[in-house]
Amino acid sequence: MVQKTLAEGNSKGKKTSKAHEMAKKQRSISVAEFFEKNRHLLGFDNKRKALLTTIKEAVDNSLDACEEARILPEISVEIIDMNNERFRIIVEDNGPGIVKKQIPMIFAKLLYGSKFHSLKQSRGQQGIGISAAALYGQLTTGKPIRITSKIHKDEPAHYYELFIDTKTNTPKIIKEEVVHWSAETGTRIELDMDAIYQKGQQSVDTYIKQTAIVNPHCTIIYTDPKANQIIFPRATDVLPKEAKSIKPHPHGVELGMLIKMIESTDSRSIQSFLHGEFSRVSSAVAKEVCEKAKILPNTKPSEINRDMSERILKAIQNTKIMAPPTDCITPIGSNDLERGLKKEIKAEFYCATTRPPSVYRGNPFVIECAIAYGGDIEGDKQVKIMRFANRVPLQLQQGACACTDSVMGTAWKNYGLQQSRRSIPVGPAIILVHMSSVWVPFTSEAKEALAHYPEIIKEMKLALQECGRKLAKYTSKKRRMKDEMKKRGYIEKYIPHVADALKKILSLKETDEKMIEENLKDLLEQSRGKLKDIKADNQEYDEDFAKIGEEEPQEEEKDE
């Protein structure tokens, strides 16, 4: 498309150099145009994924906004089937709303957002997701995204219809009006797009369900394309601890980033820049870095050239700097994690673990994991792995994810599951892995899989091992019980023969024979102890809930 508009009109005859010719084709590409051609990078590569990605982006944004505003989230998601693979998606929340003048930018400009520049545990990161969804809708249906938002109960709501100008990556306002909305505050998004609705592991249904599992503080009202309404009521009124934003840690910074930070700083000296814009850098440490880089501490940032930046970076790497603060991470907590699993799965045994915070590339993070074992879970298949990052379910690209790698790299045989060398274990279990961090390292912008940082994999394995050990306790207990049951059954089998032989030898009566059998059974109970029933009663289990997203399992998508 780009070439088409450019290549024409160029004459024959006149000799122009090849370079000139090529220069005419060279020009900057807008991000929006880039997306148009590379939609798969953001999770819009097919119609089924487009639906999931759109809902995911919208819900993630709503949850982030509510939590930041300390509002208990109540989110309504509605998918309307408009036939011929066209759907209308409506997502509405009770969040803080969006200031009027920001609405066009947030929904109709790619890479516009609040989260990219701060390091803080949140679901969204780049500010590309929802506007990409708007663009996808615009491209497939020619219809604008419709936004209604209200920021205060005494102020009116604002309604927008927006297009994205793909050449300039700027919003084009189609319609703008003040409307009445009964809600106190909130935001409502409505857009149409070409999509396919399916059930299964990678479906919207599963996304909503898993989101409810790891966000027990949120209520979701979901209406599927067949107009079935499912309400996921909140299980707790306690909001997760407020996520704090932290300054970047020097050990996580790269040269390009450092140069950019130096260029845009207001600090007067390089020392105060280091002290002021990074976490865990005291004046003394900043001075030490400057000395190691052979740069005067009071050098103005504007005088720092590329070469000096590189020296600073090197000096940073050679300086001992305290690990970043970790109180900015709010994990789900092993109790809530376990409760969430119980709701979803009817198993015999549950356990969960939350690891202490750790750091990769200067970013603090926390790994949690949980295991459900036995009960209704099928035993002869590979275990199901549920992956989450900052409370967002990861449903695609399982094979490429660090979670999967960690599960495969753990020795499950010791914990009572079958496993062939470095593969996903087999057995009646479901394994849940959750990573919380100020910056979650995804392998792509589509946010489908976690990157393989050794520090992260190490923490995941430690978490899995911790859970594994709890599991092993249970499985070995269960095995012992099974052995005991078998032995008991075996002994009981011969009781009638003992009674029969004694009856014949001693010419006993039937009643004596009965007495022998009963007394022997009592004796067995006495000497071997009462068998404890190990089947745990799961009060939390919700059958209807568990069924959501389960029908019509589809084949695992082939990722390119």
Partner 1 sequence: MSKKLSVPEKIRSLAKEVFDSIGKKDTPRLETPIRSLSNVEYNDKEGYFKILGKMKERTMTASTIKSFAQSLLMMNESKTLIEADDIATKREMYYISKNWGDAKFKEQPESDSIMDDIEAMMGVNREQIGFIPEEKGGDIAGELVVVDKDPDTGKPLKIDCTKMGTGAYSIPISVEHLQFETKAKFILAIETAGMFQRLVKHKYWKNANCILVSMGGVPTRACRRFIRRLSDDKKLPVYVFTDGDPYGYGSIYRTLKVGSGNSAHINEYFCVPQAQFIGITPQDVVDYKLPSHPLKDVDLKKIKDLIKNDPFIKHHKEWQKALQQMHKMKVRAEQQALAKWGLNYVIEKYLPDKIGNKKTWLP
Instruction: Determine the interface stretch with partner 1 among 38-46, 93-101, 211-219, 485-493 (rule: CB under 8 A).
Output: 485-493
The verdict on 502 binding partner 1 (CB under 8 A) reads: yes
Number of Cβ atoms within 10 Å of the Cβ of 252: 19
> Does residue number 525 form part of the binding site for partner 1 (CB under 8 A)?
no
Closest distance to partner 1 from the beta carbon of 484 (Å): 9
Q: What sign has the CA pseudo-torsion 37, 127, 560, 87?
A: negative
Say if residues 252 and 363 touch (Cβ distance below 8 Å): yes
Q: Which is nearer to partner 1, 68 or 513 (CB)?
A: 513
**Residue 531 beta carbon to partner 1: minimum distance, rounded to whole angstroms:** 15
Which tokens belong to 222?
């979901």
Length, in residues, of the chain: 560
> Which residue number, 168 or 519, has a Cβ lying nearer to partner 1?
519
Mark the segment that binds partner 1 (CB under 8 A) among 90-98, 379-387, 450-458, 501-509. Answer: 501-509
Distance, in Å, from the CA atom of 442 to the CA atom of 374, rounded to the nearest integer, reads 32
Helices marked H in 26-181: 31-37, 47-68, 103-108, 129-141
Among the listed residues 494, 514, 531, 553, the single contact to partner 1 using CB under 8 A: 494
> Which range in 43-51, 153-161, 228-236, 516-524 contacts partner 1 by CB under 8 A?
516-524
Q: Where are the alpha helices (DSSP H) in 323-371?
A: 334-344
510 binds partner 1 (CB under 8 A): no
- Candidates 56-64, 226-234, 328-336, 497-505: pick the segment binding partner 1 (CB under 8 A): 497-505
Size of the site for partner 1 (CB under 8 A): 24
Cβ closest to partner 1, residue 86 vs residue 488: 488
Contact window for partner 1 (CB under 8 A) among 18-26, 57-65, 411-419, 499-507: 499-507
CB within 8 A of 100, min separation 6: which ones? 149, 158
Per-residue mark of binding to partner 1, 13-32 (x: CB under 8 A): --------------------
Which tokens belong to 502? 């004694």
Burial class (CB in 10 A: 0-12, 13-18, 19+), 532: exposed
Question: Which of 501, 551, 554, 556 touches partner 1 (CB under 8 A)?
Answer: 501
CB of 512 to partner 1, least distance (A): 8
Q: How far apart are CA 134 and CA 166, in angstroms?
A: 12
Q: In 10 A of CB 226, how many CB atoms?
A: 8
Q: Which two tokens stand for residue 295?
A: 């740069």
Nearer to partner 1, 26 or 527 (CB): 527
Alpha carbons 210 and 305: distance in angstroms, whole number: 49
Tell the residue number behind the tokens 């940082």, with chain if given: 453
Interacting residues toward partner 1 by CB under 8 A: 487, 490-491, 493-494, 497-498, 500-502, 504-506, 508, 512, 515-516, 519-520, 522-524, 526-527
